[in-house]
Structure 1
């Protein structure tokens, strides 16, 4: 396979994974898979939550595609696609778990408009505790926070948690309450 075609498949997969992540989040995680994802909408106790199983579940097709494309004589494009899936997973982990939820303590503060927008959109997603009534299911592409706030208001704030007081984080600093 020509390297340019492999790189095109890889890049197309990384970009296309945002659409897949949106659909999986909206219709699987907030649908029949809520029994795992619900833990992500509650306060976490310890380092892990049941929702973390989704990372392992979504890693399986990536591993199989890379392994099959490199070692089982499958079409070589599968390895590039599997690598694209894995790369999106790493990007997602960096944005979602490290930057937004700070599961690895850090002092990063978003400065660019883009970073502020995706962080705020994800936080607005989390103001709803129930599986219904959420906004912003994508991650690397997010609607403007003003639009999300208007949609939450239009829904009469159904399922929105009570305002939270600042809480202690693992790093010992106060995390700001989410503005709704």
Structure 2
């Protein structure tokens, strides 16, 4: 039974991270930490690394903290939460940084309806290069209007 709880908590955390990504992006990245996120919209540097990448580090620390709470303090719920955050982070990195932004030249030839919809939604978000209109969509919950043929 505990395995079922772990799976449900892992899946719930993974899906909950979609909300956290949206919330963080809209109210923090396009809010008081715009100074870190701005270079993701306006390329004002020649470096592969962006100041925006510090947000990955934050979520990695949160994930590691839950895993340490599980391993060192026997907080059983820490493992599925930490792994759910980690799995979302890996998925987000693959979809956003590799697939959409091509920071690594991989996954270039994926051309199905879902892939086109995610690319289209993200392109619409990047049309706004300023702090305002920070609305975006995640990987899982993209409006159907972006999935046209």
Superposed displacement of residue 97, structure 1 = 0.4
Maintained 8 Å contact 2:98/2:107:
no
Which whole-Å deviations, capped at 9, do the CAs of 1:7-28 have from their partners, x for residues lacking one? Answer: 1100111111101111011011
Between the aligned partners of 1:26 and 1:53, the Cα distance in structure 2 is 16
- Show the counterpart of 2:19: 19
Alignment of 1:137-152 (within 5 A): 137-143=137-143, 144-145=145-146
Between the aligned partners of 1:24 and 1:135, the Cα distance in structure 2 is 11
Larger Rg: 1 or 2? 1
Unaligned ranges ≥5, structure 2: none
Distance 1:135 1:109, change over 3 A: farther
Unaligned ranges ≥5, structure 1: 147-180
- Runs of 4+ aligned structure 1 residues displaced above 4 Å come to none
Which structure: greater helix fraction? 2
- Show the counterpart of 1:69: 70
- Show the counterpart of 2:101: 101
For this pair of structures, how many residues does the alignment match?
145
- Show the counterpart of 2:54: 53
Maintained 8 Å contact 1:25/1:137:
no
Alignment of 1:1-180 (within 5 A): 2-43=2-43, 44-73=45-74, 75-106=75-106, 108-143=108-143, 144-145=145-146
CA RMSD across the alignment: 1.7
TM-score, scaled to structure 2: 0.89
Bigger Cα displacement from structure 2, 4-13 vs 43-52: 43-52
- Show the counterpart of 1:164: none
Superposed displacement of residue 58, structure 1 = 1.3
